[in-house]
Structure 1
Amino acid sequence: MERIAAAWDELMVRLGYQRYGAQGGDWGAAVTTQIGRNVGHCVAIHTNMPFGRPPRGLSDPNPDEQAALERLGYYQKWDSGYSKQQSTRPQTLGYGLVDSPVAQLAWIVEKFWSWTDCDGHPENVLSRDELLDNVMLYWITGSGASSARLYWESFNAFTRGAAVTLPTGVASFPKEILRSPRHWCEDNYTITRWTTMPRGGHFAAFEQPELFVDDVSAFFAEFR
């Protein structure tokens, strides 16, 4: 993850950008957070999955905190098997993902079912062609195995590191996997904009592109 963040900064400089902003969700959020820690030529970051943790000794959670704790518990019990597999034995899984299109399809689409704001069916927010296009990016390139290895290489670095001192914008979508309250995240980021979205889930840019783009554009407009 640290190498990816450094590579992005180097790429932007080689492309001629002495100032730029970074945005990310999921692993992109981890890389974007690391870019913010590195500072480099980045002037601000925006994320739709900020990393936060409950305060120590939390004994009387408010409604937002209780909802976040319940979602975390659900994720740990029911939703994190893929992560454990990919962070410990990614190559074993990888053989199946590059051998069987059905395996690759099931591995990806199950997450669209679970992590989108779709009321139980991913085709309520994404078309079948959009779902297949996404899966085909992995299948045609044979990258199911290599993409899984990122968990093995970097998973423990997700929440490791100094706080981000760059201005940080956050778009908080209601069906995000782990939706931390703002004050849980403020030790990790210098948050200058926080938008609570009316709908959307983990794949925010894919599910709700207009909401996503409007918030990202409004945030980075301050730094042009």
Structure 2
Amino acid sequence: MAIERFHIHVSDEILDDLKYRLHHIRWPDQVENAGWEHGTELSYLKSLVSYWKDHYDWRAQESKLNLLSQFFCNIDGIDVHFVHERGKGPNPLPIILTHGWPDSYLRYQKIIPLLTDPTSYGGNPEDSFDVIVPSLPGFGFSGRPKHSGVNNFRVSEMWAKLMTKELGYKKFAAAGGDIGSGVTRYLAANHPELLFGIHLTDVGIIRNLIASSDQVKLSEEELRYKKNASEWIAQEGGYMSLQSTRPQTLAYGLSDSPAGLAGWIIEKYRAWSDCNGNLQHKFSEDELITYIMIYWVTNTSGSSARMYYENSHSLPPLGYIEVPTGIALFPADILLPPKEWVTRNLNVTRWTSLPRGGHFTALEEPELLAEDIRAFYKPFRAKINTK
């Protein structure tokens, strides 16, 4: 199937159904003075839902989202939704950006113009990019896989086809965080000839380091990571255990209750961002609800959770990555990796510790991330011959 234009238009039926559900929520109780210790705090969620119900305007947000050049095409039997914005420079470098959970392609909404049109933001037109931002299979406006096996590796193969066969690029750049980091690393491992380099904001949870019993060979930083990661998984990893083992059971509640979906997602934005416990320091209510709405209007809370199951049950091993790699770490992100481990497993040519920001990098600090991406790829500009 050829590439086709995509325009978001959620039916009135879906929006009317949502309105009814928001007006008929059965709220749970909460232990007094519990705050966020037991999970998403009740009074905060009630306030957010009240705004959602009485003030939030999806049609206005939908119009803004439709300002992006969006498309879809079928790859390996799955419809893939993607943004494709052309660079406004003499020789743009193509870059594919891959998101994670619980975000969507909107993770990169703020950074797209900074990369495509650097001149308008005080930059050099020589640093422009063609930006491609797909929605992962089972997320947002992409199709939902009907069969098992759609994991990070499989998606990386789909992205290689999207960039070369569908869009016609001979060579390109790739970047990502969260699930997007895994997809990008598999793309680099299996198709190094297609890539100028990869740019990552994390390397995932390093499970072989956590499981290592040979502590003598680990550095002090690696031992500290092993301890911190084990504690984090025990205290914060319940969502991951459930989505990796019983995503279908979880899907019934998240697909049926907008308040339940909001509670499941919003806790992660608070815990993983650099907001010091106050979501309004980083995100407006309209932004937060729009992030949730992408899951609700597409009914992809269950299919997106399945990616955790697939990555836990069917991923092949990942070896040393020879493609030049840029690492940009944001201080409030989850489990910052030990540099020794990263440099043993990836060909790191740029390592940056940024002054602020958390897990939702491009949402929180788009200027910082764009600047680091531009700097990392600058040496590759002379080699551009992408089509």
Global fold match (TM > 0.5): yes
Q: Secondary structure at the match of 1:186?
A: helix
Where is the helix percentage greater, Structure 1 or Structure 2?
1
Provide the residue aligned with 1:146 in structure 2: 303
Amino acid at match of 2:215: G
CA RMSD after TM alignment: 2.0
Provide the residue aligned with 1:117 in structure 2: 274
**Residues of 1 paired with 2:236 and 2:315: CA distance?**
17
Q: 5+ residue gaps in structure 1?
A: none
How has the CA–CA distance of structure 1 residues 158 and 26 changed in structure 2, closer, same or farther, with 3 Å as cutoff?
A: farther
**1:73 and 2:230 correspond:** yes
10, 34, 37: which one aligns with 2:186: 34
**Residues of 2 paired with 1:146 and 1:170: CA distance?**
29
Contact persistence 1:9–1:42 (CA under 8 A): no
Provide the residue aligned with 1:175 in structure 2: 332
Bigger radius of gyration among the two: 2
**Residues of 2 paired with 1:164 and 1:191: CA distance?**
9
How has the CA–CA distance of structure 1 residues 117 and 58 changed in structure 2, closer, same or farther, with 3 Å as cutoff?
A: farther
Q: What does 1:22-61 correspond to in 2, within 5 Å?
A: 22-38=174-190, 39-51=192-204, 52=206, 53=209, 56-58=214-216
Provide the residue aligned with 1:3 in structure 2: 154
Provide the residue aligned with 1:83 in structure 2: 240
Provide the residue aligned with 1:208 in structure 2: 365
Q: Which moved more, 1:199-208 or 1:71-80?
A: 71-80
Note the C-alpha offset of 1:155: 2.5
How has the CA–CA distance of structure 1 residues 59 and 34 changed in structure 2, closer, same or farther, with 3 Å as cutoff?
A: closer
- CA deviations over 1:145-203 (Å, ceiling 9, x no partner): 00000111113567931111100000011111121121121222100000001111111
**Residues of 2 paired with 1:131 and 1:16: CA distance?**
35
Q: Which moved more, 1:72-81 or 1:93-102?
A: 72-81
Q: Which one has more relative contact order, counting CA pairs under 8 Å at least 6 apart?
A: 1
Question: Could you tell me the percent identity over the aligned residues?
Answer: 39
Provide the residue aligned with 2:256 in structure 1: 99
Contact persistence 1:47–1:171 (CA under 8 A): yes
**Residues of 1 paired with 2:270 and 2:163: CA distance?**
35
- CA deviations over 1:54-98 (Å, ceiling 9, x no partner): 784258864x55653453133212111001000100010011111
343, 354, 358: which one aligns with 1:186: 343
Amino acid at match of 1:57: Q
- CA deviations over 1:14-52 (Å, ceiling 9, x no partner): 201111011010000000010110124122101001255
Amino acid at match of 1:22: A
Amino acid at match of 1:19: K
Contact persistence 1:9–1:40 (CA under 8 A): no
How has the CA–CA distance of structure 1 residues 60 and 8 changed in structure 2, closer, same or farther, with 3 Å as cutoff?
A: closer
Q: Secondary structure at the match of 2:335?
A: coil
Amino acid at match of 1:217: R
**Residues of 2 paired with 1:160 and 1:178: CA distance?**
21
TM-score, normalised with respect to structure 1:
0.92
**Residues of 1 paired with 2:178 and 2:316: CA distance?**
12
**Residues of 2 paired with 1:140 and 1:171: CA distance?**
33
Provide the residue aligned with 1:162 in structure 2: 319
Amino acid at match of 2:198: I
Amino acid at match of 2:286: D
Note the C-alpha offset of 1:204: 0.7
